[in-house]
C-alpha cells in the first residue's frame, strides 16, 4: 500500500518546508493567480485531490465529464484573458481532454492542462489506465512536460503559465506520474523564467509599419480584417483609435467579433462563408487588405485564387511569423504583438483617401442588409438572436455551440466589447458552448452570461447542468431547437441535392423536463409573442435557467458562399 505523505497547509509565505508534489502543485497554481480549477478525479490524481482537502484557498469545480472541464477552463480563459486550468486523471481521463486541447490550440487560448499518469515504476508496461498523453497531444499543444522529478515541478508550472499566456497563446500540458505527486521536496517557489530558445514576441519592425502607413495614406479602397488576435492581445482600443485616424472600414472574422464594435459606422460585420454582403464585396473590391490578428483561414478566404483580386497590396499584422504568407501572399509583414504594433502606428497614422469608398459601403449596407422572412405563425431563430441582442443591449457574454445558431449569433447579435463572444472557431467543436459558459460565468461573476446552443450540441454537454444547479451558476441556457442537425442539413440541401442522411434529431429529450430534472428552471417558447415573454421571465429569474426556443427546421443561414467559390459568389437565399 502506498504511503501518503501529507503536511498541513501553510500560508504561501512560509515556503521553506517539506511538502508533497501535490501540495507544490496547489501552491504554485495559487501563486500564479489561479482563481478556479475545473476537473474530474481518478486514481492517478488522488494525491492531488487529497491535497485539496482542508485548503480553503483552492477553488475546484467538479464537472460531469472531462471534456466539460476543459471547455469550462477554455471559456474562463477567453472571457478573462487569464490562463484557464483543468485537471484529469490518466488514460481515459486524459484522452477525454484531447478535443478540448485541440479546440484551444486552434483558437490560441491559454490553458494549463494537468493530467495524472501511472507511477514512473510501471510506465511503459501498459499499466492500468496508462496512455501516452504527451505523444497524443504533441501536435495540439504549445509545449508539454512529463514531470519525473518533484524538484522540477515549481519551475515547470511557472514556465507553463508563461508559455501559455505569452506570444501566440495556447495550451500547455503537464503530465504528473502518481509517485511524483507524492514525492516530498523542500518547497521553494520558482521565480526565474529561463526557457531556452523561446522568445515571446519580437519587437515590431518600425520600417514595416511605416510602409503599411504609407500604403494606407495612398489607398482609396482599404479594408481591415480584424481577427481573434485583436481580442487576445487586448488591442481593441488601439484598433478603434487606428480606425479613427485612418478612416479604414473594418470587417471581423468569427473570433474577431467584439474586437471592434458591431454598431460602429465603419463596421462591415463578419466576412466569409456566412459573412455580410457588404463585407465580402468590400474585400473583393479593396485595393489594400490589412489583416490584423487573422490567419486568413479558409472560411474567410474561400477560393484563395480568387481572394481580393483587386488588392494592390496585402498587409498582415500577427504575433506568429509562421502565419505570414501561409495561406495568402503578403506584401507587408508586421510581425509582433498587435497592441504594440498599433500603439506605434497610431503615433504616425494618416487618413486614407477613402471618403468615396466609405460612402459606397454605406449604400451597400443599406441596400443589402442581413435579412430573414419573419413570421406571425412560427418562431424564427434570427428573431430570437435579435431579441437577445436588444434585451441585453449587447452587454452580455455570449457563448455558442457550433452550427446554424452560431452563425445567426455572429450575424445578428451586436457585440460592443471584446471577450464577449466565446465560440469554437478553428475546430468547430460541438459540445463546447454550454461548458464554456460555465467557465465564463466563473471568471465574470458580475456579468450576464448567455449560452446559445443547438439541440444537437446541447446533448453533448447537457450533464453539466448539474454543475450550474449545485453551484447556482446563473447562466441563461438557450436551446435553438429545430429537431435536426441544421448546418449539416443545409449543406445536404444545397450541395447534395436534398439527399438528407442521418440528420434527424427527433427523439431528443424534452429539454424543459431535462433542466427540471437537474434542478434548473426550464421554459419554452414557440411563437414570437411567447419568446419575448418567456425570455423576460428567464432574465428575471435568479440562478440558471434553460429556455427552449422551438424553430422551424427549414430555416437556413444566408448569405452563404460555397467551398471552392469566390467571396463575392454569394447565395442570398430568399433575397436572391
Is 178 catalytic? The answer is yes
Strands 222-226 and 449-454: unpaired
Choosing from 10, 129, 463, 483, which is the catalytic residue? 129
Distance (Å, whole) CA 262 – CA 121: 57
Cβ atoms of residues 109 and 74 within 8 Å: yes
Describe the strand order of the beta sheet including 267-270 as a list of residue ranges: 267-270, 250-252, 222-226, 288-292, 313-318, 332-335
Of 532, 159, 180, the C-alpha closest to 380 is 532
Of 83, 90, 34, 41, the C-alpha closest to 62 is 41
Which grid coordinates are listed for 251? 470587417
Strands 397-400 and 313-318: unpaired
Which grid coordinates are listed for 410? 455572429
Choosing from 142, 169, 178, 476, which is the catalytic residue? 178
Cβ atoms of residues 163 and 32 within 8 Å: no
Choosing from 32, 38, 52, 66, which is the catalytic residue? 66
Q: Could you give phi then psi for residue 15, rounded to 5 degrees?
A: -95, -15
Q: Residue 540's CB: how many other CB atoms inside 10 A?
A: 8
**Alpha-helix runs per DSSP H in 311-394:** 338-345, 355-367, 381-392
Q: Is 492 helix (H, G, I), strand (E, B) or coil?
A: helix
Is 430 catalytic? The answer is no
Choosing from 387, 487, 560, 570, which is the catalytic residue? 487
Strands 37-40 and 84-88: parallel
* Angle made by CA atoms 29, 33, 39, in degrees to the nearest 5: 50
Distance (Å, whole) CA 348 – CA 351: 10
Distance (Å, whole) CA 461 – CA 432: 8
Give the DSSP H/E element, type plus range, for residue 93.
helix 92-95
Strands 143-146 and 222-226: unpaired
Cβ contacts of 311 within 8 Å, gap of 6 or more: 286, 287, 288, 289
Distance (Å, whole) CA 184 – CA 541: 49
* Angle made by CA atoms 276, 360, 214, in degrees to the nearest 5: 95
Cβ atoms of residues 287 and 312 within 8 Å: yes
Distance (Å, whole) CA 456 – CA 152: 44
Choosing from 128, 220, 348, 350, which is the catalytic residue? 128
Cβ atoms of residues 547 and 524 within 8 Å: yes
Which grid coordinates are listed for 115? 493530467
Is 129 catalytic? The answer is yes
Q: Could you give phi then psi for residue 445, rounded to 5 degrees?
A: -65, -20
Distance (Å, whole) CA 225 – CA 234: 16
Is 128 catalytic? The answer is yes
Cβ atoms of residues 411 and 270 within 8 Å: yes
Strands 560-561 and 570-571: antiparallel
Active-site annotation, residues: 66, 128-129, 178, 487
Amino acid at each position: 500500500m502506498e504511503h501518503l505523505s501529507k503536511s498541513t497547509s501553510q500560508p504561501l509565505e512560509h515556503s521553506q518546508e517539506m511538502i508533497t508534489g501535490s501540495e507544490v502543485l496547489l501552491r504554485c497554481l495559487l501563486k500564479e493567480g489561479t482563481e478556479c480549477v475545473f476537473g474530474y478525479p481518478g486514481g492517478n490524481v488522488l494525491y492531488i485531490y487529497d491535497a485539496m482537502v482542508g485548503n480553503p484557498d483552492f477553488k475546484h469545480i467538479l464537472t460531469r465529464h472531462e471534456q466539460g472541464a476543459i471547455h469550462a477552463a477554455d471559456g474562463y480563459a477567453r472571457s478573462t484573458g487569464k490562463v484557464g486550468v483543468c485537471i484529469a486523471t490518466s488514460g481515459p481521463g486524459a484522452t477525454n481532454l484531447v478535443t478540448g486541447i485541440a479546440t484551444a490550440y486552434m483558437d490560441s487560448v491559454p490553458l494549463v492542462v494537468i493530467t495524472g499518469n501511472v507511477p514512473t515504476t510501471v510506465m511503459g508496461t501498459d499499466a492500468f489506465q496508462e496512455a501516452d498523453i504527451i505523444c497524443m497531444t504533441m501536435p495540439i499543444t504549445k509545449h508539454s512536460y512529463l514531470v519525473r522529478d518533484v524538484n522540477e515541478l515549481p519551475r515547470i508550472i511557472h514556465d507553463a503559465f508563461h508559455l501559455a499566456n505569452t506570444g501566440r497563446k495556447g495550451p500547455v500540458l503537464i503530465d504528473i506520474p502518481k509517485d511524483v505527486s507524492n514525492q516530498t521536496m523542500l518547497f521553494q517557489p520558482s521565480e526565474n523564467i529561463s526557457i531556452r530558445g523561446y522568445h515571446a514576441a519580437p519587437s515590431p519592425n518600425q520600417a514595416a509599419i511605416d510602409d503599411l502607413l504609407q500604403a494606407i495614406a495612398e489607398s482609396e479602397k482599404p479594408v481591415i480584417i480584424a481577427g481573434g488576435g485583436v481580442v487576445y492581445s487586448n488591442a481593441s482600443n488601439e484598433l478603434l483609435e487606428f480606425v479613427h485616424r485612418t478612416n479604414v472600414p473594418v470587417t471581423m472574422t468569427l473570433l474577431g467579433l467584439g474586437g471592434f464594435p458591431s454598431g460602429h459606422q465603419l463596421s462591415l460585420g463578419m466576412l466569409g462563408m456566412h459573412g455580410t454582403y457588404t463585407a465580402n464585396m468590400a474585400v473583393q473590391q479593396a485595393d489594400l487588405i490589412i489583416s490584423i490578428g487573422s490567419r486568413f483561414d479558409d472560411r474567410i478566404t474561400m477560393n484563395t485564387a480568387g481572394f481580393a483580386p483587386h488588392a494592390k497590396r496585402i498587409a498582415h499584422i500577427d504575433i506568429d511569423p509562421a502565419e505570414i504568407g501561409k495561406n495568402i501572399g503578403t506584401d507587408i509583414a508586421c510581425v509582433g504583438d498587435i497592441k504594440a504594433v498599433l500603439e506605434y502606428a497610431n503615433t504616425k497614422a494618416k487618413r486614407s483617401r477613402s471618403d468615396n469608398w466609405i460612402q459606397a459601403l454605406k449604400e451597400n449596407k443599406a441596400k443589402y442588409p442581413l435579412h430573414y422572412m419573419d413570421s406571425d405563425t412560427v418562431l424564427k431563430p434570427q428573431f430570437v438572436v435579435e431579441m437577445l441582442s436588444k434585451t441585453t443591449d449587447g452587454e452580455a457574454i455570449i457563448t455558442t455551440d457550433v452550427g446554424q445558431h452560431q452563425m445567426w449569433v455572429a450575424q445578428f447579435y451586436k457585440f460592443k466589447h471584446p471577450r464577449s463572444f466565446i465560440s469554437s472557431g478553428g475546430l468547430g467543436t460541438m459540445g463546447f458552448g454550454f461548458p464554456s459558459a460555465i467557465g465564463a460565468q466563473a471568471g465574470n461573476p458580475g456579468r450576464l452570461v448567455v449560452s446559445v446552443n443547438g439541440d444537437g450540441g446541447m446533448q453533448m454537454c447537457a450533464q453539466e447542468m448539474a454543475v450550474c444547479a449545485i453551484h447556482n451558476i446563473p447562466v441563461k441556457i438557450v436551446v435553438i431547437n429545430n429537431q435536426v442537425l441544421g448546418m449539416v442539413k443545409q449543406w445536404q440541401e444545397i450541395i447534395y441535392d436534398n439527399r438528407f442522411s442521418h440528420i434527424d434529431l427527433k427523439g431528443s429529450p424534452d429539454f424543459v423536463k431535462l433542466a427540471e430534472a437537474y434542478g434548473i428552471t426550464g421554459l419554452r417558447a414557440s411563437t414570437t409573442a411567447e419568446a419575448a415573454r418567456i425570455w423576460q421571465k428567464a432574465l428575471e429569474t435568479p440562478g440558471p435557467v434553460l429556455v427552449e426556443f422551438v424553430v422551424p427546421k427549414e430555416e437556413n443561414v444566408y448569405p452563404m458562399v460555397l467551398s471552392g467559390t469566390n467571396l463575392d459568389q454569394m447565395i442570398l437565399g430568399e433575397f436572391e
